[in-house]
Amino acid sequence: MIVDLVQRSGPVSRATIARSTNMAKPTVSAIVEELAAEGVLRELGVGEASHSGGRRPVLYEFNQASHHVLGVHIGVETTTAVLADARGHEVARAAVVTSREAPADVLASVCAAVGRMTEERGLAKNDVTAIGVCAPALIDPVEGLLVFAPNLEWRNVNIVEGLRQVNDEATIYVHNVAQAVLAAEYMEGIGQKWPNAVLLYEDNGVGAAIMIDGSIFHGVQGFAGEIGHCKLPGGQEPCNCGAKGCLETRVSVTAMLRRTGHEPNQDGTLHQQLRALVQSGDPRVKRALREVGKDLGLAASWLVNLVNPDAVVIGGGFLDAGDALLDGLIASIRDQGLPESVGGLTVQRSVLGSAAPVRGATLLALQASRRSLQRVLGSLRVPSLPLPE
C-alpha cells in the first residue's frame, strides 16, 4: 500500500502516508525505514512545516532505479523483450526471431539479449526482479507453462524454466497475449471508462480477452477467451488446432489474404503484405475485408450477448485490415446482437496498437510491486503464483 501510494502521489511524508492508509504512525515509520534501506524509497530532504509549526517532515519518493522488470512478448513472427525501470518506463528493448525456431532456442536468445541489455547499463542479473511474458497460447498461469500455441506449434513449453537464466530469483508471470493486451489497454490505452470490455486479437491466430468489472477473466485453467477455435457454421477449412471450421480459419491474417485473392507470403511478413494491400485502396480487397469483419462480428455478437460489455476492442493484426474490417464488424454486431445489448456498445480499435502486447507483459512484471495492477490482471486469484517477499 505504501509503495503504491508513494508511486502515485510523489514525495510524501510519513504522516501523510499514515493519514492516507489509516495505519498507525509507528507502523508506517517502521515500513518506510525498511523500504528506504532496501532502496525502494528514497529520502528527498525535508518539506514544508505544517501550519501548526513543529518539525519539517522528511519526504520520501519512489526510487525508480531500485529494481528493473522485463516484459517479453512471444509473437508468432518476432519475440520482443523490453527492460523497464521500477516505474515501468522502458530503458531498452531487443527483438529475436520466433518463426521456425525451437522454443528452447527462442528463450535462450531472449536470455542472451537481456544479458546484453543489462550489461550495457551496468545492471546485475538480480536487478531484474520480475518478468512478465505473454504468448498467443493456452497458458497455465500457475505453472508458467505454455500448454499449446497452435500457430507457433509449441506444446508444453515451460516458460519459467526457459527464462531462469535472466535471473533465477525473479518472479515470472505468464499470460495469454489477448489477456495481457486488454489489461494494457485498460491501464494505459482505451482507459478505465469501460471496465467491462472484450478484446478480439489477431496474431496469425485469433483470440479474445474478457474483462469483467475491471478484472481480466481467466477461467478455471486460464484458458478463457479462445474464440478463435469456436466453429462457424459450414466451415470445413482445417485449423492449426487440429479441428475444422474454426473462426480462425476465416479471419486470421492468412485467411484475410486468401479472401482478398492473394497467396500469403512465405517469409513471415503477412501483416506487412496485408497493410500494403489495404493501402492500395483496391475495392476488391475492401469488399473481402468487410466480409471478414462480418464473420468476426458474428462471433463478437455472441460475446456481446453473453457478456453485455461496454466495449468491443480489436487489436493485433485486425488493426492492419483498415476501416473495411471495422465497418463489417460493426454492421454484423448491429445485425446479430441483441439490440438492447448493442445499444450502448462502443466498438473501437486498440489505442496502444502494436505496442500493446509487450506493454501488457511489462505491466504483468510490474504487478509484482503494484497493487492496482494486481487487481486488473487478477493473478492474485491464482493461488500458487509466488509474489516477491
Give the residues lining the site for Zn ion (CB under 5 A).
229, 239, 241, 243, 246
CA–CA dist 249, 145 (Å, integer) = 26
Angle at CA of residue 210, ends 260 and 173, nearest 5°: 105
Query: In terms of CB distance, is 246 or 278 closer to Zn ion?
Result: 246
- Helix, coil or strand: residue 249: helix
Q: What are phi and psi of 85, to 5 degrees?
A: -80, 180
Grid coordinates of 210 = 474478457
Minimal distance, residue 344 CB to Zn ion, in Å: 32
Instruction: Tell me the one-letter amino acid at 103.
Output: P
Q: Cα dihedral angle (136, 131, 379, 352), rounded to 10 degrees?
A: -60
Query: In terms of CB distance, is 127 or 226 closer to Zn ion?
Result: 226
- Is 215 in contact with 236 (CB distance < 8 Å)? no
DSSP character at residue 206: E
> CA-CA distances (angstroms) from residue 192 to 156, 184, 345, 377?
35, 11, 15, 13
Stated as kind and residue range, the H or E segment containing 319 is none
Minimal distance, residue 315 CB to Zn ion, in Å: 19
Query: In terms of CB distance, is 40 or 200 closer to Zn ion?
Result: 200
Query: In terms of CB distance, is 2 or 255 closer to Zn ion?
Result: 255
Minimal distance, residue 235 CB to Zn ion, in Å: 10
> At a CB cut-off of 8 Å and minimum separation 6, what does 279 contact?
none
Query: How do strand 128-135 and strand 68-74 relate by DSSP bridges?
Result: parallel
Grid coordinates of 369 = 510491486
Query: In terms of CB distance, is 54 or 233 closer to Zn ion?
Result: 233
Minimal distance, residue 153 CB to Zn ion, in Å: 13
Minimal distance, residue 138 CB to Zn ion, in Å: 12
Query: In terms of CB distance, is 229 or 290 closer to Zn ion?
Result: 229
Query: In terms of CB distance, is 111 or 241 closer to Zn ion?
Result: 241
Query: In terms of CB distance, is 71 or 150 closer to Zn ion?
Result: 150
Minimal distance, residue 78 CB to Zn ion, in Å: 23
Minimal distance, residue 221 CB to Zn ion, in Å: 17
- Helix, coil or strand: residue 370: coil
Q: Is 60 exposed, middle or buried (0-12, 13-18, 19+ CB in 10 A)?
A: buried
Give residue for cell 485486425: 318
- Is 248 in contact with 205 (CB distance < 8 Å)? yes
Minimal distance, residue 248 CB to Zn ion, in Å: 5
